Every structure is written in C-alpha cells, then in structure tokens.
Amino acid sequence: MTNDQQIVDSLKDPATKELAFRHLISKYKERLYWHIRKIVLNHDDTDDVLQNTFIKIWNGLDSFRAESSLFTWLYRIATNESITFLNQRKRKNISSLTDENQYLIDNLEGDSYFDGDEWQMLLQKAVATLPDKQRLVFNMKYFDEIKYEEMSEILETSVGALKASYHHAVKKVEEFVKSHETRIEP
Amino acid sequence: MYEEENIEPDFLKRPKTNPFRTPDYYFESLEDRVMGNIEYQTKKENSSTRIIRLLKPALGLAASFLLVYLLVYYPINTFLLKDTAKTAVTDTTTADWLNDYSINLTSVDEDVIVNAIFSEDTTNLSETNPDEFLAYLSTGLNDVEIYSEIQN
C-alpha cells in the first residue's frame, strides 16, 4: 500500500483504517519531521509537534475531501501545528517583540541534536531572524526544494507572493551572513 | 522580478547539508508511539464523555428540584408567609391583651376570696330591680321566644 489513493481509500474503511494510517505514518513521517524541524529547530519540540500533527490528521480524516493531494494536506496541517506551537512558546517566553526570534536562536543553540559547523549554525541563525512567512518559504524552497505551485497549495498563497517572499528572505539571509561571516575563522 | 535566476548570492551556491540529526532509532518506533497517543486521547475523550453521561441524570434531577423550588416553594414563601406574619402579629397582640386583663391570683389574698364566696351579704342582689334582671336575661331573644318562656 504505497499509493496515496490506496491509503485514502483504506482510511475510509473502518476495518482497514488503523492499518492504513500506520502506512501513512511510515510514508510521511520523515518528510514531515524534517519540515517541522526546520520550523521549530529543536528535536524535542519537533517530536511534540509531529505527534500532535498525526493526531490532528487522524481526527480530521473525515474532513479530507481529496480536493488537494494527501501530501499537500499533511504538509498544511504540519505547518499550521508548527506555527501554532511557536506562537504559544513565544507568548510564554518573550518579554518584548524584539526578542521574538531570539527564542528560536536559543532553541537552536540549546539543541543537542545539532551537528552542524559554524557556517551551518550561522545560516540557521540567519534564517531564524526572518519573519515567520518568509522563513517558511525559504525553508520549503531552499532546503526542501518544493515547487512554488505546490507551496502555493500548502500555504494557500499565490505563486507571485511566494516568489516575493523568497526574494526578500534570500536578501535578508545574505545580509546577515555577510555581516557575521567575518567572525568565523576560515 | 523575483525569478531565482536574478538572485544567486554566494551562500546559495554552497552545498546543502542537513546539520540536524535525530536520536538513534527515533523513526523506527514512531508509528507505535503515535497510535499509542491516539488511543490515549480517545480513551481520555471517552472517559470524559462517560462522566458527563453519568452525571446527566443527577444534573437533570438537580435542575428539576431547582425548577420546582422556583415555581412552587419560592412563591409560597413570598406570598403566604406575609399572611403568616400578619397572624403572628395578631397572636402577639392577643397574648398581650390576655396578660393585661387576667387576674394575678398570687397577688390576691385567700381570705378575701373566701369571704366573697361565703358571705351572707345579699344587699346588692336585693337592691337590683327585677325588670333589669328580665331585660338582661331576655337579651338576644325575640318577642315570641320571650312569650314562650313566660308561659313555661
């Protein structure tokens, strides 16, 4: 059962629902995990969000109308769960608006499952300083290499707006990297 | 304007590597953990639904009692207790009146009572006019009844 349509059909039948859902998890767990991880950065938080995402998917199976592809629907739920999680955490931890992205940077620096070098840390910090929407678009385009058309369905934003967001994000990341790169020893 | 070809900063040309990792075997047990969480959530929802279902009759009964109280007991208390209060005030007045007019026997000398009962002094009675007696006795009687009494 590897085909999305087969999984969707089996999910509709109560007798095969649970088995089909296990197949769905197996097929998408890694892609969803890495998508969420790039948004929340920390592994433990990612695990929480991923569990919640799958619970939301299970509870919302009846509302899936197959108007969009299964992959798009799953990505949308994962994205919304990640943003909701981050907003909740930010509200709890942030004393002023200027600290908003500092939470993410602290999260990144405190993550024991980050093995990157200084350049990779710098790039992640640069991405963490972006506004939420630009960060999402940058991650999906640069790291996940998702097409704009697909991204448009997931984020429910026009392709033109996504291209503009990516353009601004790249400029900001470049500026951040240039202003901090001199501190990194070659 | 925003086409990718137009924006190619140096950092975009660097090779992309994933700096993040997961704990060992993290993905292997994910299905079981997710299904376990779903089962737990379902049980939790069911138990809260069951509690509500169990409490429903008790809550219904409590609501019924409250309704009865509001429809019956409250109006009775509000309207009938006013009359009861009035009666209570009347009773108090009667009791005061009785206290005022009752004879306090402890303050009366026994000898005076004995003399009053057994005294042979009938002057007061003899001085009484028989017509006044008849008038007193015939109070509340009509002419026919007075006539029949005289005939008997």
State ipTM: 0.81
| Nearest-by-Cβ selection for A113 from B21, B34, B41 | B21
A contacts of B25 (beta carbons < 8 Å): none
Provide the pLDDT for residue B100: 64
CATH number of A115-186: 1.10.10.10
CATH architecture of A1-95: Orthogonal Bundle (1.10)
| Nearest-by-Cβ selection for A173 from B1, B2, B11 | B11
Q: Is A22–B22 a contact, with Cβ atoms under 8 angstroms apart?
A: no
Predicted confidence (pLDDT) at residue A43 exceeds the cutoff of 90:
yes
Predicted confidence (pLDDT) at residue B125 exceeds the cutoff of 60:
no
Q: Is B21–A115 a contact, with Cβ atoms under 8 angstroms apart?
A: yes
Greatest mean pLDDT among A33-47, A103-117, B97-111 lies in A33-47
C-beta atoms surrounding A30 within 10 Å: 13
Predicted confidence (pLDDT) at residue B115 exceeds the cutoff of 90:
no
Q: How far apart are the C-alpha atoms of B96 and A24, rounded to whole Å?
A: 93
Residue whose pair of structure tokens reads 């007193």 in the numeric block: B136
Higher pLDDT, B85 or A173: A173
Q: Does A30 touch chain B (CB under 8 A)?
A: yes
Could you tell me the residue ranges of all domains in chain A?
1-95, 115-186
Q: Alpha helix (H) ranges present in chain B?
A: 10-13, 30-68, 74-75, 81-101, 110-118, 123-126, 130-137, 143-151
> What own/partner pairs with CB < 8 Å and gap ≥ 24 does B23-27 have?
B23/A43, B23/A113, B26/A47, B27/A29, B27/A30, B27/A33
Residue of A nearest to B11 (CA): A174
Q: Does A64 touch chain B (CB under 8 A)?
A: no
Least confident of A120-124, A154-158, A177-181: A177-181
Q: How far apart are the C-alpha atoms of B30 and B40, rounded to whole Å?
A: 15
What percent of chain B has a predicted confidence (pLDDT) above 90?
12
- Output the pTM of the full model: 0.66
Kindly report, residue by residue over B54-109, the tens digit of the pLDDT.
777 788 888 887 888 788 777 777 766 666 665 655 555 556 666 666 666 666 67
Least confident of A112-121, A127-136, B73-82: B73-82
CA distances from A47 to A36, A84, A104, A116 (A): 9, 15, 16, 20
Q: Does A148 touch chain B (CB under 8 A)?
A: no
Q: Is A114–B20 a contact, with Cβ atoms under 8 angstroms apart?
A: yes
Collapsing DSSP to helix, strand or coil, B94 comes out as helix
Predicted confidence (pLDDT) at residue A173 exceeds the cutoff of 70:
yes
| Nearest-by-Cβ selection for B2 from A33, A43, A164 | A164
Q: Chain A interface, mutation test: which of B34, B40, B42, most A Cβ atoms within 10 Å? A: B34
Provide the pLDDT for residue B89: 56
Q: Does A147 touch chain B (CB under 8 A)?
A: no
Least confident of A49-63, A104-118, A141-155, B24-38: A104-118
Predicted confidence (pLDDT) at residue A154 exceeds the cutoff of 80:
yes
Average pLDDT, integer, range A66-88: 90
Residue of A nearest to B35 (CA): A22
Residue of B nearest to A48 (CA): B34
- The partner residues of B20 in beta bridges, in order of sequence, read A114
CA distances from A76 to A12, A17, A68, A71, A124 (A): 21, 21, 10, 9, 22
| Nearest-by-Cβ selection for B19 from A33, A120, A142 | A120
φ, ψ dihedrals at B122, nearest 5° = -115, 15
| Nearest-by-Cβ selection for B20 from A22, A37, A167 | A37
Q: Does B31 touch chain A (CB under 8 A)?
A: yes
Predicted confidence (pLDDT) at residue A50 exceeds the cutoff of 70:
yes
Predicted confidence (pLDDT) at residue A32 exceeds the cutoff of 80:
yes
CA distances from B29 to A30, A48, A94, B32, B108 (A): 12, 15, 34, 6, 108
- The partner residues of A114 in beta bridges, in order of sequence, read B20
- Distance, C-alpha A146 to centroid of its chain: 12
